Amino acid sequence: MGLKAWLVGKLVDWLNTEDDQWEIPPCDFDRLSIEIRPCDVLLVEGRNRISNIIKTITLSSWTHSALYIGRLHDIEDPDLQSLIQRYYDGDPTEQLVIEPLLGQGTVITPLSKYKEDHLRICRPKGLSRQDVQHVIKEAANYLGREYDIRQLVDLARFIFPYGILPRRWRSTLFEHNAGEQAKTVCSTMIAEVFAAVHYPVLPVIHRNKEGGLRMYKRNTRLYTPRDFDYSPYFEIIKYPILGFDDISLYRQLPWDKEGVVCHAHGECYAADGSRIVQQEIEVNKG
């Protein structure tokens, strides 16, 4: 292994290191796993160092996106089933997502991997059954591609401009290279597979002199996970861990009655201003 590869490997390991302190995710994973549908975009609030960097770059808590493809038997095309099985040899009844990951490339992973994370579903409204299968097929063609860490760096340079040169001169995000890109990142991959069926995410819209509108595809390399949350063409679906279907039920939620206020997990204060650690809270409530 060369010095460059060794250094890159060490950097990837450091960026993928997760935070030991983590709050209980405000998401009901069991319900989400029942309700999620093929071609839903899963947004994830990551817990590792690269996620903290992405939060800073994008000013959003959503640091990763994955495309839900369902179970193997949800795939109608037998050739596509075979392709997916080449990259996933686990339980055929497992719910699966396709996602580019730092240090792993574009892979298939079980949905259950995100059981302990804060999640949200972004559902493409009105996507036809035929196009659902087409989108999944397009995503499967990305399997094996490397994660494009250079694109992440350039995105940071683009969002935080410096100097007097035009931004497009300082970033490879605006290069129009011929041929197929050998690397990708999560949001770019998902934007591209939806573009393959002409499904909009955040298109550029121009109005002509006569008042007519024309839509143009946005540069997919500029997409971030938050754009699927922001898009008017995706329904936002949340499954809170403590939810209520009737508005009056919010009064029955298990609120603390002692006047404790928390800044974050493990950083709570009593009404007199004294600090309370999480262990003390759990003992008091027990």
Residue 285 has pLDDT above 50, yes or no: no
Output the six-digit token pair for 244. 């209520």
- Give the model's pLDDT for residue 252: 72
- The domain ranges of the chain are 3-237, 256-285
More confident residue, 7 or 71: 71
Calculate the alpha carbon distances from 111 to 55, 238, 277 in Å: 22, 16, 33
Question: Does the domain at residues 3-237 carry the CATH identifier 3.30.70.2740?
Answer: no
Angle between helix axes 3-15 and 49-58 (nearest 10 degrees) is 80
More confident residue, 157 or 164: 157
Most confident of 40-54, 151-165, 173-187: 40-54
Output the six-digit token pair for 76. 């109608």
More confident residue, 184 or 84: 84
Q: What is the pLDDT of residues 92-104, one digit of tens each?
A: 899 999 999 988 8
Query: To the nearest whole percent, how much of the chain has pLDDT over 90?
Result: 41
Which residues are CB-neighbours of 211 under 8 A, at least 6 positions away? none
More confident residue, 194 or 54: 194
The position carrying tokens 């699966």 is 96
CA distance 250 to 43: 26
Most confident of 56-65, 139-148, 161-170: 139-148
- Give the model's pLDDT for residue 286: 43
Most confident of 57-66, 153-162, 171-180: 57-66
Mean pLDDT, the chain, as a whole number? 80
Strand partners, 97: 68, 109
Residue 70 has pLDDT above 50, yes or no: yes
Residue 180 has pLDDT above 70, yes or no: no
Coil, helix or strand at residue 136: helix
Mean pLDDT of 252-260: 75
Which residues are CB-neighbours of 182 under 8 A, at least 6 positions away? 145, 146
CA distance 260 to 225: 34
- Give the model's pLDDT for residue 283: 43
Residue 50 has pLDDT above 60, yes or no: yes
- Give the model's pLDDT for residue 65: 95
Which pTM value belongs to this model? 0.77
Mean pLDDT of 185-200: 92
